[in-house]
Amino acid sequence: MKVPKLSFVALPLALLACTQAAAATVEVIKSPYCGCCTEWVKHLQEHGFQVKVIETENVDAAAKALGIPDDLRSCHSAKVGSYAVEGHVPASDIQRMLKTKPKAIGIAVPGMPIGSPGMEQGNMRQPYKAILFAAQGSRKVFAQH
C-alpha cells in the first residue's frame, strides 16, 4: 500500500505538537473532594501534558494568588508556564495559548459547563467560551465550544 506524501508532512507536525504539550507541566490546585477536577486532570494527561496535582482546602486563595478574577472562577485553578488556567479549559485551548504566547494572565472557562472536559454528561452539552484575560482587565473570547 502506497502512503500518501501528505502523511510524511503531517506526521512531523503532529509529533511536534505532542512534544510541545508533553514538555509543558500543568500544576493543578484543587480540592481533594472534587471528582470533576480529577477528570479534568485525566483529560490533560490524555492530551500529553504532565500534571502535578496540589490538593488544598482553600482553592480560593490559589485562584487569587494566580490573579484570576472572581467572575471567571470555577472549581479548580492551574498554572502552566507563566499562565494561569481556571476551570474546565480544553487541552487544545491550553496548547494554542502556549503556542501563540498572548500577552495575558491566562485563560478561563467560568463556572462548570456541562460537556466541558471533566464535566461530561453523555451527549449533553452547554455552549461555553474560553476567556483570555489580561492584567489591565481586558478580556477576549479565545475559543467557543
Q: What is the mean pLDDT of the chain?
A: 88
pLDDT of residue 140: 97
Domain containing 90 — which CATH number? 3.40.30
Instruction: Give the number of other CB atoms < 10 A from CB of residue 23.
Output: 12
The H or E element containing residue 129 is strand 129-133
pLDDT tens across 81-133, in order?
Answer: 999 999 999 999 999 999 999 999 999 999 999 999 999 999 999 999 999 99
Greater confidence, 32 or 1? 32
Structural domain containing residue 24: 5-144
Rg (CA), the chain: 16
Query: Number of folded domains in the chain?
Result: 1
User: Quick check: helix, strand or coil at residue 23?
Assistant: helix
Q: With contact defined as beta carbons under 8 Å apart, do 63 and 77 qualify?
A: yes
Please determine, for residue 62, whether its predicted confidence score (pLDDT) is greater than 70. yes
Record the cell numbers describing residue 105, joined without a space: 494572565
> Rounded to an integer, what distance in angstroms lies between the CA atom of residue 71 and that of residue 102?
21
pLDDT of residue 24: 81
Q: How many residues does the chain have?
A: 145
